[in-house]
Amino acid sequence: MRWKTLLGTLVAIAVLAASAGLVRWAPRADDWSEDARMEAELESLRAENRALRAENQRMSRVVEALKDDPAVIEQVAREDLGYIRDGEVVVIVPR
């Protein structure tokens, strides 16, 4: 008799919890679309991560070239900083 009362109480609690939305017995359609959205976002973030890693590698190569290669240092000094060598004449052509 005691088991029947306990079982009845548990069933009643489960029914109340399910009706209150605290427990779901089966996934809803919203859950599937949310999963799909999250999977798409995850793939997008992975692609962005790959692109950023490639950019970091490219920038690391540039940093190493700036440390070691005098030609690269000169190129940056001329193009980005406007440096010239002694005896050179700079001609600026308006656009």
DSSP 10-56: HHHHHHHHHHTTS--SS--HHHHHHHHHHHHHHHHHHHHHHHHHHHH
The per-residue pLDDT of the chain, averaged, comes to: 84
Percent of the chain's residues with pLDDT above 70: 83
Tokens (6 digits) for 74: 């000169």
| Residue 93 pLDDT | 93
In the predicted structure, residue 41 carries a pLDDT above the cut 80: yes
Q: Give the span between the Cα atoms of 17 and 60, in whole angstroms.
A: 57
| Residue 34 pLDDT | 83
Residue 54's pLDDT band (cuts 50, 70, 90): very high
What's the predicted TM-score (pTM) here? Answer: 0.51
In the predicted structure, residue 82 carries a pLDDT above the cut 80: yes
Q: Give the span between the Cα atoms of 46 and 83, in whole angstroms.
A: 41
